[in-house]
Amino acid sequence: MSKKDEIIRLWTECFGDSKEYAEMYFSRVYSDDDTLSIANNDGRIASSLQTRDFRMKFAGETVGLSYICGATTARRSRGRGYMSRLMLRALDRAVSKGNMMAALIPAHDWLYFFFERFGFSNVYLADRQCYTSFHPFATEKDYFELTDPYAPEVFDAFSSFEHRNPGGVLHSRRDFLNILDDLSFRKGGTFVVVGRDDAPIAAMAWAFDRGDFVQVNEILGIDSDARTGAMQALRRHYPDRQTTISAATSIREEWDASSAQKQPSPLSPKTTPDGNAQSGSTTPCSRTTTTHSASNADAPRSTTLTPADSTSMSTSPFSHASSSARPKSDQ
């Protein structure tokens, strides 16, 4: 059995992903070179994690980020310290690559305590907004919805929005397409793109049907009216539904270069989550004890970061649907 086949076996055992998602992930995203693992005495892989390199906007600069994902140990092999050893190796790798930070998104709340041992702390907070089914999402301008989210210009706009975000991860075109495909595999997932007369692509948003309400995980746009236009489009997809926005950027705040400089940095060590809002943890990548997102596709973003060259700082800036590598870690 190849290394990839063993990782698929372990992934299937520990994560409840659909067959479609697993096939997409292991055909487009997975790489043996990015995967660290430990085997039992019988030679079978018992614990593994993957690291992916991203670029990230931080304090006005573009820095390297090591994203740790798919961290898991076979149930029968837990409690032996395998994941702790892999985490230290992952942080060493981040340092050797010159990355400033490492990030991850725990799959369960109790895992925050585990990753804190390696220097990770919560950093990303979301402006959680709740709207009744009667909220009109009124706009000053008229908006139309684009029908082809895979059009090249949609990614160009997405990339432009990301580069304006003072504390977000930068995704490639391939990452963006993976995000869209991941969304299509999930029941109740919706991605909308809207334009207006003066901007062919003015805003976009990701949403998931939670049964009794609609959760918006991310909303990006050129101004607050455009973001409200994206919410208006989502309302057409989900009429008469309560809506909760759990995103780093609200539909109210103006998000341009001048206002971004006035706002505090989204990366702040030891920040605590705001209720059900998405959060992240960060720690600098350094050789010591330890360390997103676009964005788990089916859960609020919860990120943990650690600096790569200091004693502890971890951050995860993944904000959208999935960041092309499922943000999860099931130690």
pLDDT in tens, 137-155: 999 999 999 999 999 999 9
203 pLDDT band, cuts 50/70/90, is very high
| Res. 228: pLDDT tops 90 | yes
| Res. 325: pLDDT tops 60 | no
Largest CA distance in the chain: 66
Contacts of 190 (CB under 8 A, 6+ apart): 183, 206, 207, 208, 209, 234, 237, 238
| Res. 276: pLDDT tops 90 | no
| Res. 299: pLDDT tops 70 | no
Contacts of 174 (CB under 8 A, 6+ apart): 28, 324
| Res. 178: pLDDT tops 70 | yes
Give bridge partners of residue 307 from the DSSP assignment: 101
What are the structure tokens assigned to 146, written together? 């684009």
Segment 246-254 mean pLDDT: 64
Contacts of 178 (CB under 8 A, 6+ apart): 24, 28, 29, 322, 324
What local confidence, expressed as pLDDT, does residue 46 receive?
A: 96
What local confidence, expressed as pLDDT, does residue 314 receive?
A: 31
Q: Which residue reads 């670029």 in tokens?
A: 55
24 pLDDT band, cuts 50/70/90, is confident
Element (H, E) at 145: strand 144-145
Higher pLDDT, 129 or 285: 129
Residue 180: closest CA among 218, 144, 232, 210:
218
| Res. 212: pLDDT tops 70 | yes
Element (H, E) at 127: strand 127-131
- The predicted model scores a pTM of 0.75
Q: Are 115 and 80 in contact (CB under 8 A)?
A: no
Mean pLDDT of the chain: 78
What local confidence, expressed as pLDDT, does residue 288 receive?
A: 28
